[in-house]
Structure formats: structure tokens, C-alpha cells
């Protein structure tokens, strides 16, 4: 059942040679015969070991500028021959095909070439043909052949060979085959997605090699994983490991803060902003963001778009929070904030984020473009006799940024660059407004002179009437209802301003 195989012949042809030397030395000590090409052949020879050029095996030189080197029956026959079949043994002997027991091969750096923005002809040349074929062939014949398709597995194989006197077991070979097919499938997905950028085929292909097991999923009884490279986006300066729910909140926080250019602090709870303020400095922004709802802020996720200094850190430290995200922290600030070991501090790096969003749904996946639209004053069309003032337009823009990133149905109330209150995730827009007004009152905010933003149109004039009676002076909505005029008429009747944007921002 273990089916041990002693490695006698190895084909080695790799692009990256770092970490290869100890493995080659171990194979040489075990009496393994090496076959190789190009730079790898020179690498092995420079170590002082004999190596047979693949050209000597096949009788053909590397041709077409290196495009064809290993694509030959004497190579693939040696990899794919089934050792237990007499017919395969006879044919291998007839055509003088050596059995190849180990294939060490990697792939041209296609993804890296694309990321570097090189011309397409250079990108195309980095589509590996021989390497991918060798990987698939060796992985297919894992019953008899070891395939190493990544430098990350050199040490693993080295340890196995040292422990088993140059022999591998079936379980080893099957595990390496699994990893190899992962390598090949990821590579092909990257190539397909490159070609599928223009006039795309409507198929869904994603592959992410980086992964991290989380403590659990949304709840303790659910398993959770993150696929991606968090270290490319954040440097974690303090605290425990990010949980599934932390990551969901961090994602929402990053998306929201990226709407702002002036100094802004946002506090989120369950992906919704419960505090937000834009001010001349972050310390004031923090204080005013916290004032919106200090109860919900407890245990929240905090994010800002400037350096956290010592004074701001002192104020933040008065609150229990889960995560704090900022582009930088002063040394003095870090001393204060790291005093409690479980506080998660993330220093954000500049990383391009995906333009597509997807998630599993029913028995498939849904995908959409990221909502990258935000309507500023220049895209707000007044529809009432009374026009919003410059200050009201600024507040409407502020409120519109928040409403875009809040669960529907939602209403956001704002005044002087500060979130006053919001109604979140309600089944009716009227309920969302009532929730916002009640919340504002509970924290001592006077909504008179504030503005209101809605994520979607008003099907009836009731929200406008309630808002105007509460003292709200300007309203933003996308418009688009067949009964839009009823809401416009109500705004005119109540003497408040209304603008429409033509863009809905549902968020489910």
C-alpha cells in the first residue's frame, strides 16, 4: 500500500534556483542520475556533479528560441510509463526511454511579468509550455513519480529522502501531486484572466494561493479562512489575530475611509458607521466621531486617514475597541496604544484593491463591479424651489458617502461634517428615518439645520414630511420613483431643499 519508490533518475529544470543546492547534493549522494536543461544544467555542473543534457536524451537541441526543449517522447515516456505494466516496460526498452522517478520543475513568472506592466510580447513568452506539461505528466503518474513544482517543497522532499534513504512512499507522492495540480491550475487561471480582460467570457475563475486559518467563522461553531495576502495590505503592530468578523469590519472600514480626503475618523460596528466626523485635525475628528454614539463605539473598529499622534492616542485609549487602522502612528502614540496587548493595531499600506466583488449564493456565485461612484455637489441636481446652501451641499456630500456604505434601507443625518445619526438595515425607509431621529435625540443632538441622505428613492412623501417637521433643512436622494414628484411637492410645501443624484446605493 505504501509502494516505496527509490529515486534513480531525476529531471530538474527550474527558473528559480534558490534553495535547490541542498536537495541536489542529497540526490547526488543517493546516486541519482541528473537530466537537465540550460541554466539548471549549468547550476548542477557548477556544483561538481555529472548531468546529462536533455538534448543528449532526445537527440534534439533546444529550438525555437527555447520554446521547445523537453517536449519529446523520451522525456514524457520516462515520466508517464507505468512501471507495473509489461507493455509499458517493453516499449520503454524498445525506444531506450529511461524511467524518470523525480521531476523538479517550476514555471516562468507569468503573473510577475503582467504586474510589471511589460509589453504583451514579453508577457506571452512567459506562458510556460514545457514546464506545465512536465508538472501535469509527473503529477498524473504519482503512483511512480515524485513531482516538485515549487521551491517551497525542496526542504520537505529533502527531509523525506534523508529519513527514507532516497525513497518516497505513495502518500508522499500523492501529496506532492496535489500541490502540483494546485500550481498548474493557479497558473492557468492567471493566464485565462489575463486574456479575459476584454470582451470577457462569462465564466468565473479565481485562484488565491495565500491562505490563513481563522480562529472560527462568523460564529464559534463555523470554520473560517481568509484567502489573500493580508501582509501586503497591513502591518499588524499589536494585538491578537484578526477574526472573521474583524476582517469583515476592516473591509467595510477601508472602503468607507477611502471616500474621504480631509482628516476624518470613522467608527464602525458590524460594518456600519456609528460615528464619523471630518475636521481640520484628527484629534477633533475622533472626539466628534465618538460623540455620535459612544455606546455603539464600545468594541468597535476605528479607522482614520492620517497619522495617529500622541494626543489622539491618549483619547482613543479611553475607549475599549477591537481594531484601529491608520496609515501611520507616531512612536509616542504606539507606546500608549500597545499598553493593552489585545488591541489590534493595523498600519495600512498602499495596495490596489479589486474592482470586482463576488460571493457564493445558492448553488453558484454572484459577481458585480465595485460601487466606485460617489456623487459630489457637482452631480447633485436641485429639484425644489429652495436650493441648498454651500454648507448644506458639503454636508449632503458627507452624508452621501456614509449612506453609500451603510446597510439598506438606510437614512443618514449629518451636520457640519459630523454624523448625527443613522437608521440602519430597516425594512422600510420610514423606520430607518424614525430610528435615526430617535437615536439623535437620545445622544442630545439637535437635528434642526441638519441634512438627510437616503440610499434609494422615496416611494411616498412621508419621509420628507417627517424630516421637514423635525427641522431637517436639505435632503439628498437618487430619485427614480414614479412618484418622485410627490416627495418634491412635499419638500416645496415644507420649504426645504432637495437634490437628486440619479445613482442608487443599495447595500445588502
CA distance 248 to 307: 23
- Span 128-174, pLDDT tens digits: 898 999 999 999 999 999 999 999 999 999 999 999 988 999 999 99
Helix (H) or strand (E) holding 10: strand 9-13
Choosing from 8, 17, 126, 140, the catalytic residue is: 140
Q: Which of 186, 270, 347, 386 is catalytic?
A: 270
pLDDT at site 455: 95
Joined together, the cell numbers standing for residue 390 give 454651500
How many other CB atoms are found less than 10 A from the CB of residue 449? 14
DSSP state string for 321-383:
EEEEEES-B-HHHHHHHTTSTT-EEEEE---PPPSEEEEEETTEEEEEE-------GGG-EE-
Catalytic residue list contains 140: yes
Q: Is 445 left (phi over 0), alpha (psi -120 to 50) or beta?
A: beta
Query: How is 201-232 classified by DSSP, letter by letter?
Result: -S--------EEE-S-SSSTTS--EEES-HHH
Distances (CA, A) of 407 to 143, 461, 479, 500, 505: 53, 22, 19, 20, 10
508: DSSP letter: -
Q: What is the pLDDT of residue 1?
A: 61
434 in active site: no
Residue 70 CA to residue 92 CA, distance in Å, equals 17
The residues of the chain scoring below 70 in pLDDT are 1
**Secondary structure of residue 63 in the 3-state scheme:** strand
**Is the full-model pTM beyond 0.85?**
yes
Handedness of CA 465, 467, 471, 475 (dihedral sign): negative
**SS3 (DSSP) at 189:** helix
User: In sequence order, what are the beta bridge partners of 411?
Assistant: 423, 454
What's residue 57's pLDDT? Answer: 86
Amino acid at each position: 500500500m505504501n509502494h516505496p519508490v527509490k529515486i534513480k533518475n531525476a529531471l530538474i529544470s527550474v527558473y528559480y534556483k534558490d534553495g535547490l543546492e541542498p536537495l541536489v547534493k542529497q540526490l547526488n549522494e543517493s546516486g541519482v542520475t541528473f537530466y537537465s536543461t540550460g541554466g539548471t544544467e549549468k547550476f548542477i555542473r557548477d556544483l561538481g556533479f555529472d548531468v546529462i543534457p536533455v538534448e543528449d536524451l532526445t537527440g534534439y537541441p533546444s529550438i525555437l528560441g527555447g520554446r521547445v526543449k523537453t517536449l519529446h517522447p523520451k522525456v514524457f515516456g520516462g515520466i508517464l510509463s507505468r512501471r507495473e505494466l509489461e507493455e509499458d516496460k517493453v516499449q520503454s526498452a524498445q525506444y531506450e526511454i529511461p524511467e524518470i522517478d523525480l521531476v523538479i520543475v517550476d514555471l516562468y513568472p507569468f503573473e510577475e511579468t503582467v504586474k510589471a506592466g511589460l509589453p504583451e510580447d514579453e508577457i506571452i513568452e512567459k506562458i510556460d509550455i514545457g514546464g506545465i506539461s512536465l508538472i501535469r505528466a509527473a503529477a498524473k503518474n504519482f503512483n511512480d513519480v515524485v513531482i516538485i513544482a515549487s521551491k517551497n517543497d525542496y526542504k520537505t522532499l529533502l527531509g523525506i529522502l534523508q529519513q527514507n534513504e532516497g525513497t518516497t512512499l505513495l502518500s508522499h507522492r500523492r501529496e506532492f501531486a496535489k500541490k502540483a495540480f494546485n500550481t498548474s491550475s493557479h497558473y492557468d487561471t492567471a493566464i485565462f484572466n489575463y486574456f479575459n480582460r476584454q470582451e470577457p467570457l462569462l465564466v468565473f475563475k479565481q485562484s488565491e494561493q495565500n491562505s490563513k486559518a481563522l480562529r472560527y467563522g462568523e460564529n464559534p461553531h463555523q470554520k473560517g479562512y481568509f484567502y489573500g495576502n493580508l501582509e501586503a495590505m497591513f502591518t499588524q503592530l499589536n494585538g491578537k489575530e484578526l477574526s472573521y468578523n474583524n476582517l469583515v469590519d476592516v473591509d467595510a472600514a477601508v472602503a468607507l475611509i477611502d471616500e474621504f480626503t480631509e482628516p476624518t475618523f470613522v467608527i464602525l460596528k458590524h460594518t456600519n458607521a456609528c460615528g464619523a466626523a471630518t475636521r481640520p485635525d484628527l484629534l477633533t475628528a475622533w472626539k466628534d466621531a465618538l460623540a455620535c454614539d459612544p455606546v455603539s463605539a464600545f468594541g468597535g473598529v476605528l479607522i482614520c486617514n492620517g497619522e495617529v499622534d500622541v494626543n489622539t492616542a491618549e483619547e482613543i485609549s479611553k475607549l475599549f475597541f477591537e481594531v484601529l487602522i491608520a496609515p501611520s502612528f507616531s512612536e509616542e502614540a504606539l507606546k500608549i496604544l500597545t499598553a493593552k496587548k489585545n488591541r489590534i493595531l493595523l498600519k495600512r499600506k498602499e495596495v490596489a484593491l479589486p474592482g470586482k466583488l463576488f460571493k457564493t449564493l445558492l448553488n453558484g456565485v454572484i459577481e458585480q463591479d465595485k460601487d466606485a461612484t460617489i456623487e459630489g455637489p457637482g452631480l447633485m441636481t436641485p429639484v425644489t424651489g429652495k436650493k441648498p446652501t454651500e454648507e448644506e451641499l458639503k454636508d449632503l456630500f458627507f452624508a452621501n458617502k456614509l449612506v453609500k456604505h451603510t446597510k439598506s434601507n438606510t437614512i443618514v443625518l449629518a451636520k457640519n461634517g459630523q454624523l448625527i445619526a443613522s437608521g440602519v438595515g430597516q425594512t422600510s425607509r420610514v423606520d430607518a428615518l424614525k430610528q435615526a431621529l430617535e437615536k439623535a435625540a437620545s445622544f442630545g443632538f439637535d437635528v434642526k439645520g441638519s441634512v438627510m441622505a437616503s440610499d434609494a428613492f422615496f416611494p411616498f412623501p412621508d419621509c420628507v414630511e417627517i424630516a421637514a417637521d423635525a427641522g431637517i433643512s436639505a435632503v439628498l436622494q437618487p430619485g427614480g420613483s414614479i412618484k418622485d414628484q410627490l416627495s418634491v411637492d412635499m419638500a416645496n410645501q415644507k420649504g426645504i431643499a432637495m437634490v437628486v443624484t440619479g445613482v442608487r446605493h443599495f447595500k445588502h
